[in-house]
Each structure stands twice: as structure tokens, then as C-alpha cells.
């Protein structure tokens, strides 16, 4: 685990800040919100922020990425751009039948990934740390996709 990851996982919640990420909706109205708020930890003497949770809607953004944010009088800190990728990848899934959810969550954890549950219990944002095999994780998820169990979105892939 990197020092940034240590700071995030063991950091004082008082040091965490919220960063607002503006979102662009597609022609189908996805995502269903205009902004997403992410927790972050100030780094690089306040010149950047390390993303401290798994994004649900923001594209091309993952946990531990270092981002730049500008202060807005109305919205607070607003995402500007990624300064440095943290090596994590983000995959989102929607499970169609929640009866298989405990098994799915257990398998994702056994592969070395973490996840957060969204506004619906069947919506998960999955963090794939750099030391985890992306191929093993995505093979499992694609198998479930082909079985008709879920839909997936590979939103930020930083694995080689």
C-alpha cells in the first residue's frame, strides 16, 4: 500500500474534503445526476487531492488518483482534471437479481477488490487496486454478464 493509500485509509476524517465532479449526461439521460461528490485528501502541499472513494458516475477517474480542483464560491471545490493516475481501475455493475449479490460481493473481495454500494443495493462501483489481476476480475464479471446476471461499465482502466 502506498503512503497516499495509507493516508486515505488511516487519515483523520477532518482532513478529508469533498470535491464536486460535474457530469455530462448522454442522450438517454445517464447519469441521472448532474454532479458527483467525492471524498479526497489534500496532497502535494495542497496543490492536489487524492480521491478517497470509488466514483459511481465520474468517468476516467479512480480511487487514489491525484486531481486538481478549483474553488467555486457556490459549490466549493470543483474537479478540474486528473494530475496523476493512481494505478487503480474502476468498474461499475448493476446486478439484475439481488439474490446472487452476497456471492458476487464475496467473489469480488476474494479477488482483492473493494466496492461501494450505490443508491440502489444492486449498483456497485468496484475498485481494482494495481496489485490485483484486472484480467481475473473482469473475466469473472464478463462471465456474469454473459449469463445475464448483470450489466457492466469499465469506466477507468489503469491496468496494463
Kindly report, residue by residue over 53-64, the tens digit of the pLDDT: 999 999 999 999
Judgement on whether residues 32 and 69 belong to the same structural domain of the protein:
yes
Judgement on whether residues 101 and 143 belong to the same structural domain of the protein:
yes
Strand ranges (DSSP E) for the chain?
A: 17-22, 35-43, 48-51, 66-72, 76-84, 89-95, 114-117, 123-128, 150-156
Strand ranges of the sheet holding 150-156, from the earlier edge strand across to the other edge: 114-117, 123-128, 89-95, 150-156
Judgement on whether residues 100 and 136 belong to the same structural domain of the protein:
yes
- Per-residue model confidence (pLDDT) at position 160: 84
Q: Which of 57, 84, 111 delimits the end of a domain?
A: 84
Judgement on whether residues 29 and 7 belong to the same structural domain of the protein:
yes
Q: How far apart are CA 58 and CA 17, in angstroms?
A: 17
- Compute the average pLDDT of residues 96-108: 93
**pLDDT tens sequence across 103-151:** 999 999 999 999 999 988 899 999 999 999 999 999 999 999 999 999 9
CATH, residue 100: 3.30.70.1170
Judgement on whether residues 78 and 95 belong to the same structural domain of the protein:
no
CA 105 from centre of chain: 16
Amino acid at each position: 500500500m502506498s503512503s497516499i493509500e495509507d493516508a486515505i485509509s488511516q487519515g483523520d476524517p477532518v482532513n478529508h474534503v469533498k470535491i464536486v465532479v460535474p457530469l455530462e449526461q448522454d442522450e438517454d439521460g445517464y447519469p441521472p445526476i448532474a454532479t458527483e461528490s467525492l471524498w479526497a485528501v489534500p496532497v502535494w502541499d495542497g496543490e492536489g487531492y487524492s480521491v478517497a472513494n470509488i466514483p459511481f458516475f465520474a468517468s476516467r477517474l479512480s480511487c487514489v488518483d491525484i486531481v486538481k480542483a478549483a474553488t467555486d464560491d457556490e459549490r466549493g471545490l470543483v474537479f478540474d482534471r486528473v494530475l496523476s493516475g493512481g494505478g487503480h481501475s474502476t468498474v461499475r455493475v448493476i446486478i439484475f437479481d439481488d439474490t446472487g449479490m452476497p456471492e458476487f460481493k464475496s467473489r469480488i473481495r476474494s479477488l482483492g477488490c473493494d466496492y461501494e454500494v450505490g443508491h440502489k443495493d444492486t449498483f456497485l462501483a468496484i475498485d481494482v487496486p494495481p496489485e490485483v489481476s484486472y484480467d481475473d476480475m473482469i473475466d469473472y464479471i464478463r462471465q456474469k454478464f454473459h449469463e445475464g446476471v448483470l450489466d457492466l461499465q469499465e469506466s477507468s482502466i489503469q491496468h496494463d
